[in-house]
Structure 1
């Protein structure tokens, strides 16, 4: 026990990666008043509830129970927990028992004129029972290092499980949002096709009575055919989104699934932005990278401990007798006690090379850790910028849709009054169709970018009164990183 203080190893520590004061170099501004950034340090959970969709929440809850990838991650964590217990068992004495009975004939050797010959011996039985104890004192800390490595691998599995949950919730959310957007586009395409068919019938009637020329009729026929042609690809894409959702839910693609209406999905009013110094507490990939560092450091310690002797203490006590009655006689007791030492003397430098390789592996994992942290900062910065871009784009796309819709109504009214020609109606109709699709895509992109921000920040977020406010005293929709955030 006193020698346990002789534990050796480089005892490598995690590198220090300084958190920046801000994610972006310049200010970010959300033009819409429906969303604003809220800074927080807290651990994030159940961010999908901020969309206020019972359908989305139900699908995510089902995926958390039935998705095979998530179930595999749970099994991997259970395996690592068992391996930790197995490694901890190496610190304690190992006790085993042996019992047996055998029937044998012995051979006796005699001599006759210098020539050997064998005389068959008597038959006898042998009753044997022993209790075996062995103990390997962890003098140089090798077993403890193995335990540290096993615990670190368990932490890696736990972080990977968290990451799988985050990605699963994000994938389900994307599938639902994209499905709702495709459903809205399909509905809009069907409405446009119906309007085109109505206008085509009107032009054909006017042509028959001589109030319209054939060119306008053919142009509208082409426009109507093009509108019909857009429906089938949208139907296929919508079906593919349902198939993808079924796969995430652990179901076959023939299972009927309903998608919520795009307008029923509420845009999250409060968007979390974990400050950079607290991001490592929320990002599962950073937690996994930190645990991988501990694994590499423990393996380097194990490689160092392998350079030193290993001790072993053994003890056996039992009974051996040739009859059952003698087996319980005190005189049939057998025992042994021993201690051993195994030390490497010469192995061609293999152990030293293995130690250098383990330390080099730690440096590899260390650089990967730094890369993971920097990538996390980059992903949050990208998500914030994308959110700003989607917000600004949708604001203009919605205005364009409203204006083009009014222009189409005016063009149709002027056409019915005979003030303008069919070409103006056709141009206004094409513009309205394009702006409608862009508005739907822009709206869904805002939802998707909100999901991307939740994922970039770790596990999502739920608003509480303990959130950390941003130091800027400007509008709540203004996000000024350049001023910095308290660490």
Structure 2
């Protein structure tokens, strides 16, 4: 009895002492390309206050209640966000599953059967068994599995944040484009009304012999073209309205946005920090870094195959011909054992597995660094676009105001008989294009502001979980 007790204690002490070993490499965050400052920040006017993005959802910076309501629908109804949320829930379940492997597995079995022959009668037998097994994490393989699963879950959390930010940004861009189309439609409606009036005036002048037939035909052509452009805007608006419906998780037939000609262009000042801050804000960078951590843990799992698998098992059971015998101490039987298995030849499969894990880790590091570089370029692009569009808007406004004056002067000269109607058509065409270009550059400023916020990571913070 003393020997068996000593044997059990020895096995348990051996397993616990080996459980502190680990063969996986310690994780170190990979170095990333550095940038002291954004090149395109020269001449940038910082937002005031500088922490504007941290005071609430970023889309509220545009002060549009309709947009606020639509973005709220993305959180609960967008299917891409729902998919990412489901993937995150699955990743968390995988972590729990991996953690469970660190603990013993205990099972309870109860069986009973009755058998016999006709000449001897029947006999009953019952069996109660309590068994357990445990694989001590001798070489750190199981802990590496937990680490890998946890890093994968954190990457899934970042993917969820990225999917949410992407859907919110796409909705905001589509919404601002739709409102710009509304503004252009209102502009064309007023223009068409003016063209109709000019056609009637030209027709009256032709009827009394003052204007030529070609003047009437030119006025009719210009009016028809303007009406055709209005229909084209209607088609484009419908497409963006359908896209918004999908983003908020609704069928296009069940969604509608009323046109709004009263479009107020709000372009917020977006705070831009130092490049190092961006590494903490962007969810795609966080996801790429967590992928590196998971790949690093996989190296430890692969290396553990060089060492034997050690397992502990034990059981306690009893049996008898009656149910009451199951609880009799004299019928109890127990067993306790230690097992070890080691592959002694597999033609280099283990070595290849380790090399593959190390290669996947190197690939993950490269993807992480490329993601950082792409993020820097993305911000630089949006900063350039923001600065250029501000300058373009001022020039477009000047061009529109000048074209309006030319149009009015040419019309007055035509009515005085000093110029032909061709010059009127050309002046009106130029003025309309200048007005539409001004509307378009205003919309571009809003969509670029959205893109800049996205490139800075929106309101997502590193370490935050959904």
TM-score, structure 2 as length reference: 0.90
Instruction: Judge which range, 151-160 or 217-226, deviates more.
Output: 217-226
Match of 2:90 in 1: 79
1:274 offset after TM fit, Å?
A: 2.8
Tell me whether 1:88 sits opposite 2:93 in the alignment: no
Match of 1:222 in 2: 221
Match of 2:246 in 1: 247
- CA RMSD of the aligned region, Å? 2.3
**Is the Cα contact below 8 Å between 2:280 and 2:286 reproduced in 1?**
yes
Tell me whether 1:9 sits opposite 2:20 in the alignment: no
Match of 2:77 in 1: 66
When residues 177 and 360 of structure 1 are mapped into structure 2, their CA distance, relative to the original with a 3 A threshold, is: same
1:125 offset after TM fit, Å?
A: 1.4
When residues 129 and 146 of structure 1 are mapped into structure 2, their CA distance, relative to the original with a 3 A threshold, is: same
Structure 1 residues 237-261: Cα deviation after superposition (integer angstroms, max 9, x where no partner): 1111110111111111112422574
Write the distance in 2 (CA, Å) between the matches of 1:265 and 1:129.
78
Match of 1:20 in 2: 35
Secondary structure of residue in 1 paired with 2:306: coil
Instruction: Judge which range, 84-93 or 398-407, deviates more.
Output: 398-407
Write the distance in 2 (CA, Å) between the matches of 1:70 and 1:272.
26
Match of 1:415 in 2: 414
1:14 offset after TM fit, Å?
A: 2.9
Which residues in structure 2 correspond to 1:294-313 (within 5 Å)? 294-313=293-312
The count of residues paired between Structure 1 and Structure 2 equals 446
1:460 offset after TM fit, Å?
A: 4.1
When residues 370 and 148 of structure 1 are mapped into structure 2, their CA distance, relative to the original with a 3 A threshold, is: same
1:38 offset after TM fit, Å?
A: 7.2
**Structure 2 runs not aligned, ≥5 long:** 1-15, 462-466
1:307 offset after TM fit, Å?
A: 1.3
Which residues in structure 2 correspond to 1:34-433 (within 5 Å)? 46-105=57-116, 123-258=122-257, 261=260, 264-433=263-432
**Is the Cα contact below 8 Å between 1:40 and 1:273 reproduced in 2?**
no
Write the distance in 1 (CA, Å) between the matches of 2:56 and 2:84.
19
Write the distance in 1 (CA, Å) between the matches of 2:192 and 2:404.
15
Write the distance in 1 (CA, Å) between the matches of 2:291 and 2:120.
64
Secondary structure of residue in 2 paired with 1:274: coil
TM-score, structure 1 as length reference: 0.87
Match of 2:6 in 1: none
Secondary structure of residue in 1 paired with 2:313: strand
Structure 1 residues 376-421: Cα deviation after superposition (integer angstroms, max 9, x where no partner): 0010001101111211111111221122112222332343344544
Secondary structure of residue in 2 paired with 1:367: helix
More strand by percentage: 1
Instruction: Judge which range, 177-186 or 316-325, deviates more.
Output: 316-325
**Is the Cα contact below 8 Å between 1:38 and 1:270 reproduced in 2?**
no
Name which structure has the greater RCO, CA cutoff 8 Å, separation 6+.
1
Secondary structure of residue in 1 paired with 2:315: strand
When residues 321 and 26 of structure 1 are mapped into structure 2, their CA distance, relative to the original with a 3 A threshold, is: closer
Secondary structure of residue in 2 paired with 1:16: coil
**Is the Cα contact below 8 Å between 1:159 and 1:284 reproduced in 2?**
yes
1:431 offset after TM fit, Å?
A: 0.8
When residues 156 and 265 of structure 1 are mapped into structure 2, their CA distance, relative to the original with a 3 A threshold, is: farther
When residues 36 and 200 of structure 1 are mapped into structure 2, their CA distance, relative to the original with a 3 A threshold, is: farther
Write the distance in 1 (CA, Å) between the matches of 2:279 and 2:460.
15
**Is the Cα contact below 8 Å between 1:126 and 1:322 reproduced in 2?**
yes
Write the distance in 1 (CA, Å) between the matches of 2:344 and 2:119.
48
Write the distance in 2 (CA, Å) between the matches of 1:41 and 1:298.
38
Write the distance in 2 (CA, Å) between the matches of 1:215 and 1:15.
74
Write the distance in 2 (CA, Å) between the matches of 1:395 and 1:37.
23
When residues 18 and 42 of structure 1 are mapped into structure 2, their CA distance, relative to the original with a 3 A threshold, is: farther
